[in-house]
Amino acid sequence: MRDILEKIRKFRDEREWMKFHDPKNLAVSITIEAAELLEHFQWKDEKAVDQHVRQNREEIADELADVAIYLAELADNLGIDLIQAMDRKLEKNARKYPVEKAKGVTTKYDKL
């Protein structure tokens, strides 16, 4: 992850793109790239998804990477350690969704 962050910074700074990469613009780009990833699954049922995934592994990996690159950069710019943030959030989620209540339940994220 540290190596990747170094490459992301170098890529951006060589092109003098920092001036565009404020937090709002990066969050906009994360959402746009997430929607491009989602587009791979648009209109498809489970079977069509499976087939599409088998035939488009590299394109899907590229879309995942696009989201991840902007996400890593935004965290970096805000001084947030993304791996540490994931770790802490997983612990919060574990408290929020205790195994005995959440087990196998489809309504898990419903805010009831």
In the complex, what is the shortest distance from the CB of residue 8 to a second copy, in angstroms, rounded to a whole number?
Answer: 7
In the complex, what is the shortest distance from the CB of residue 65 to a second copy, in angstroms, rounded to a whole number?
Answer: 4
Q: Which two tokens stand for residue 36?
A: 């491009």
Half-sphere exposure in the Cβ direction for 95 (13 Å, CA):
5
- Work out the angle between the directed axes of helices 57-77 and 46-55 (0-180°, nearest 10): 90
In the complex, what is the shortest distance from the CB of residue 30 to a second copy, in angstroms, rounded to a whole number?
Answer: 5
In the complex, what is the shortest distance from the CB of residue 70 to a second copy, in angstroms, rounded to a whole number?
Answer: 9
Residue 26 near residue 74 (C-beta atoms within 8 A): yes
| Interaction pattern, residues 4-43, with a second copy; x per rule: CB under 8 A | x--xx--x--xxxx-xx-xxxx-xxxxxx-xxxxxxxxxx
**93-112: contacts with a second copy (CB under 8 A):** 93-94, 97, 99, 102-104, 106-109
**66-95: contacts with a second copy (CB under 8 A):** 66-69, 71-72, 74-75, 78, 80, 82-83, 85-90, 92-94
Count of residues engaged in binding a second copy, rule: CB under 8 A: 74
